[in-house]
């Protein structure tokens, strides 16, 4: 039966708090061959990967100050004067499962103080920073959600307004077209009636062509006289 990479490796140095305290005092000692050394241990529930886990220090702002070899040995050769008291180091754990090894990334929190008493203070400070960061992230997310909702409301309002305007224009155009057709129909009917009346009574076409009700007669001397109307 083929082995399955069911689990990823995890660090076993810490049960709940991934903090490593570094005392500045040990870096003040002269002729010290090794300033700081800390061994990290990891475990993988897959039988074939229990002893084949690779440690890797990932690039970060202060990662160049530290060294982490593939076996989990963390060292600091020299501690700069200007360095924060709380440093986050990103690292990864990789098993040797083929063809697809499992890689897990996490953080190491390095606390740098003068004496061991500073450790608790720095832990509290870091937890406050985490809490503030989470609060800030939640507020940012909330503001982003509110902004998105406002944008959706504006888009919905604009869409509704545009749809209403289009419907109003369509109804107005339809009513205008109906009125124009009715007016055209009335004009056509009026024209037809006028033509029909003209055909029935041609005298309505040109009043100047109507015959006069009176007749004239001219005698041999060239004198005209009005004849009486025949009834």
Strand partners, 105: 92
* pLDDT > 70? residue 211: no
What confidence category does residue 47 fall into, taking pLDDT thresholds of 50, 70 and 90? low
Phi, psi of 97 (to 5 degrees): -70, 135
pLDDT (0 to 100) of residue 10: 80
Tokens (6 digits) for 151:
């944008």
Residue length, the chain? 231
Q: Residue ranges of the domains in the chain?
A: 10-114
Closest CA to 104 of 114, 116, 118, 90: 90
Closest CA to 123 of 112, 107, 135: 112
* pLDDT > 60? residue 216: no
What confidence category does residue 68 fall into, taking pLDDT thresholds of 50, 70 and 90? very high
pLDDT (0 to 100) of residue 84: 85
Mean pLDDT (the chain) is 77
pLDDT (0 to 100) of residue 1: 41
Q: What is the pLDDT of residues 168-197, one digit of tens each?
A: 898 988 888 888 888 888 888 788 777 776
Closest CA to 79 of 90, 87, 69: 87
Of 110 and 203, the structure prediction assigns the larger pLDDT to 110
On whether the CB atoms of residues 44 and 95 are closer than 8 A, the answer is yes
* pLDDT > 60? residue 228: no
* pLDDT > 60? residue 229: no
User: What is the C-alpha to C-alpha distance for residues 181 and 189, in angstroms, rounded to an integer?
Assistant: 12
User: What is the enclosing helix (H) or strand (E) of 186?
Assistant: helix 118-200
End-to-end CA distance of the chain: 136
DSSP state of 228: P
What percentage of the chain exceeds 70 in pLDDT?
71
Q: 98-112, 131-145, 199-213: which range is least confident on average?
A: 199-213
Q: For the domain made up of 10-114, give the CATH fold.
A: Immunoglobulin-like (2.60.40)
């Amino acid at each position: 039966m083929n082995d399955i990479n069911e689990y990823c490796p995890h660090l076993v140095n810490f049960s709940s708090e991934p903090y490593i305290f570094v005392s500045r005092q040990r870096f003040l000692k002269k002729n010290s061959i090794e300033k700081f050394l800390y061994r990290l241990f990891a475990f993988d529930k897959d039988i074939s990967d229990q002893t084949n886990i690779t440690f890797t220090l990932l690039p970060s702002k202060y990662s160049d100050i530290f060294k982490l070899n593939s076996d989990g040995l963390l060292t600091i050769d020299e501690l700069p004067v200007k360095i924060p008291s709380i440093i986050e180091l990103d690292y990864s754990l990789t098993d040797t499962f083929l063809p697809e090894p499992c890689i897990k990334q996490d953080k190491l929190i390095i606390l740098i103080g003068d004496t061991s008493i500073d450790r608790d203070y720095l832990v509290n400070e870091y937890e406050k920073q985490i809490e503030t960061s989470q609060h800030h992230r939640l507020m940012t997310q909330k503001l982003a959600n509110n902004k998105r909702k406002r944008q959706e409301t504006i888009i919905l309002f604009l869409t509704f307004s545009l749809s209403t305007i289009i419907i109003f224009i369509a109804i107005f155009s339809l009513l205008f077209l109906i009125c124009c057709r009715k007016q055209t129909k009335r004009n056509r009917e009026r024209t037809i009636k006028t033509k029909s009346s003209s055909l029935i009574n041609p005298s309505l076409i040109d009043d100047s062509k109507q015959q006069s009700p009176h007749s004239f007669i001219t005698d041999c001397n060239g004198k005209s006289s009005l004849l009486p109307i025949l009834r």
